């Protein structure tokens, strides 16, 4: 899709919205009344600080990397039974499934339907998402974390399927908390202290603006004009947070989203998972960046 | 005060600004209230606002800020309610069930959506969007670029340079 197309779509979407009836006379009347009220009253401002304590909801725990493999048993499960995705294998076929069933490093795998997916992570998962626009695939959970599974399966599946290592999606954590650009060191330390003392947090990592710029440069390596116009100080520092199993990502993210100095958050693993397992069924090539016309 | 002139401005832009707010995810009541408040502020400072290059840009910015403040207030209210439902700060975890540009826009995190609407619907310059979002111009460019990548929009070098204005 081109910029001009985006502009015209936005205009069309705005036009589809039911018109708003503004009333300038009402506005003038309110403003006159406001002036009268403010001139005759002394306003007393009371600031109420609310400290909200959010309950942490426990969700159903899932098996993680503990599958026992039998020689004849299939490791194919539903997507709900996959706790995390380490690699994606494309295409899905009985021959590929047979290899996965017999590979000790594979704990489980679930079918991934062919579709166009929005909001795909950029790299290297983006390559897998592009391949999934043309073929069905399998999402594979390793029995042991590490790079070996991709190497072993690439060798075993040579010529039959392509293996995409998407474990990079795990590196972003359950929650990515973006700070405001210009957040003070006191605000950063307050967030850090809150994370340290939070029993729901398994671990976290602080990425400075310089760290974020290095990542930005890597992603945008092919766009020199953008790189020239964005400085490290333009990018927000962030905390990448991994939660303990059973912790509600959304509830925890919201809790931290309200801290002073925090601008926004994303939930990379949940987003990746939703995008992978709940895609559209109608590929729309006009939105795909994978196949250039 | 130039009431007539203000009224013309109001008639021309009230509907457009309210629609833009709806596009960034506000419900109708919230969009109407935030827009009305932005115009009320414009009226109070009309002598200053009317001299600006883009008085409508000023109103877009104030309305978006108003929307952000109201959302924060309602988020806090929801936090206090144990039965709170959805309404995350952004909706990147929403599920794409149908491919359309509308979905692509809806799937953007709130700040990216705001930047896209201000830039490509309201046609505001980067500096004004930076004011609206309370960040540096470079941050707006980075945010817009991330949005374009997510929506699979081709953003070439020309647009990146153009974004300097």
Q: Which of residues A227 and A49 earns the better pLDDT score?
A: A227
Fill in the DSSP letter of residue A139.
E
Q: In the prediction, which pLDDT does B101 show?
A: 66
CB A204 within 8 A of CB A173: yes
Nearest-angstrom CA–CA distance, A20 and A6:
23
Nearest-angstrom CA–CA distance, A162 and A156:
10
Alpha-helical runs (H) found in chain A: 3-16, 24-40, 94-102, 125-131, 148-156, 168-171, 185-196, 209-219, 224-229, 249-257, 268-277
Q: In the prediction, which pLDDT does A123 show?
A: 52
Residues 49-108 of B with CB under 8 A from A: 75-76, 79-80, 82, 88-90, 92-105, 107-108
Q: Is B123 left (phi over 0), alpha (psi -120 to 50) or beta?
A: left
Which of B37, B107, B8 lies closest to A266 in space, CA to CA? B107
Partner B contacted by A279 (CB < 8 A):
yes
Q: How many CB atoms lie within 10 A of CB B102?
A: 15
Stretch A210-223: mean pLDDT, rounded?
Answer: 83
**Along the 165 residues of chain B, how does pLDDT read in single tens digits?**
456 689 999 999 999 999 999 888 788 998 999 999 999 999 998 988 888 888 898 899 889 888 878 777 776 666 555 433 333 333 333 333 334 666 677 777 878 888 998 998 888 988 888 887 778 888 898 888 888 877 766 544 444 444 444
The beta-carbon neighbor of A14 closest among B23, B135, B163 is: B23
State the DSSP H helix or E strand holding residue A89, giving kind and residue range, or none if neither: strand A87-90
Helices (H) and strands (E) in chain B, counts: 9, 0
| Structure token pair of residue A68 | 């026992």
Question: Mutate which of B35, B39, B79, B134 to disrupt the A interface (most A C-beta within 10 Å)?
Answer: B79
User: Hey, are the CB atoms on A31 and B43 less than 8 Å from each other?
Assistant: yes
- Contact residues on chain A for B35, CB-CB shorter than 8 A: 20, 22
Q: What CA–CA distances, in Å, run from A74 to A79, A137, A164, B83, B102?
A: 15, 16, 21, 41, 40
Q: In the prediction, which pLDDT does A239 show?
A: 94
- pLDDT averaged over every residue in chain A: 78
Q: In the prediction, which pLDDT does A268 show?
A: 79
Nearest-angstrom CA–CA distance, A143 and A149:
9
User: Hey, are the CB atoms on A118 and B99 less than 8 Å from each other?
Assistant: yes
Q: Is pLDDT above 70 for A46?
A: no
- Contact residues on chain B for A39, CB-CB shorter than 8 A: none
Helix (H, G, I), strand (E, B) or coil at A266: strand
Partner B contacted by A269 (CB < 8 A):
no
CB B133 within 8 A of CB B65: no
Q: In the prediction, which pLDDT does A56 show?
A: 38
Indicate the pTM of the whole model. 0.54
Q: Which band of pLDDT confidence, cut at 50, 70 and 90, is reported for residue A224? A: confident
| Structure token pair of residue A13 | 């979407």
User: Hey, are the CB atoms on A22 and B15 less than 8 Å from each other?
Assistant: yes
| Structure token pair of residue A157 | 């599946």
């Amino acid at each position: 899709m081109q910029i001009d197309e985006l502009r015209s779509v936005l205009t069309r979407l705005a036009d589809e919205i039911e018109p708003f009836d503004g009333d300038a006379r009402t506005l003038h009347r309110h403003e006159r009344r406001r002036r009268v009220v403010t001139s005759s009253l002394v306003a007393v401002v009371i600031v109420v600080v609310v400290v909200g304590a959010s309950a942490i909801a426990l969700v159903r725990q899932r098996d993680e990397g503990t599958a026992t493999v039998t020689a004849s048993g299939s490791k194919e499960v539903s997507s709900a039974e996959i706790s995390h995705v380490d690699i994606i294998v494309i295409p899905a076929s009985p021959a590929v499934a047979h290899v996965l069933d017999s590979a000790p490093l594979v704990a489980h795998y679930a079918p991934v339907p062919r579709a166009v997916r929005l909001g795909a992570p950029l790299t290297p998962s983006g390559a897998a998402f592009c391949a999934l626009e043309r073929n069905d695939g399998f999402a594979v959970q390793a029995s042991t974390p590490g790079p070996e599974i991709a190497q072993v399966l690439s060798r075993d599946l040579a010529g039959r399927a392509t293996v995409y290592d998407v474990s990079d999606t795990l590196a972003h954590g359950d929650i990515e908390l973006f700070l405001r650009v210009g957040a003070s060191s006191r605000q950063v330390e307050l967030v850090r202290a809150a994370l340290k003392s939070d029993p729901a947090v398994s671990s976290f990592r602080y990425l400075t603006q310089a760290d974020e710029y290095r990542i930005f440069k890597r992603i945008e390596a092919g766009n020199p004009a953008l790189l020239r116009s964005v400085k490290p100080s333009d990018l927000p520092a962030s905390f990448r947070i991994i939660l303990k199993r059973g912790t509600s990502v959304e509830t925890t993210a919201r809790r931290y989203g309200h801290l002073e100095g925090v601008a926004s958050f994303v939930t990379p693993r949940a987003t990746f998972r939703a995008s992978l397992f709940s895609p559209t069924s109608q590929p729309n090539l006009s939105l795909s960046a994978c196949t250039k016309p | 005060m130039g009431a007539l002139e203000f009224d013309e401005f109001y008639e021309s832009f009230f509907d457009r600004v309210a629609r833009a707010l709806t596009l960034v995810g506000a419900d109708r009541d919230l969009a109407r209230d935030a827009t009305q408040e932005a115009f009320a502020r414009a009226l109070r400072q009309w002598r200053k606002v009317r001299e600006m290059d883009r008085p409508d840009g000023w109103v877009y910015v104030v309305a978006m800020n108003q929307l952000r403040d109201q959302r924060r207030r309602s988020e806090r209210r929801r936090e206090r309610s144990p039965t709170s439902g959805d309404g995350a700060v952004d909706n990147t975890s929403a599920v794409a069930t149908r491919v359309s540009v509308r979905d692509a826009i809806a799937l953007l995190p709130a700040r990216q959506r705001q930047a896209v609407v201000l830039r490509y619907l309201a046609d505001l310059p980067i500096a004004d969007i930076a004011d609206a979002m309370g960040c540096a111009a470079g941050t707006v460019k980075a945010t817009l670029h991330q949005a374009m990548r997510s929506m699979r929009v081709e953003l070439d070098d020309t647009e990146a340079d153009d974004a300097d204005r």
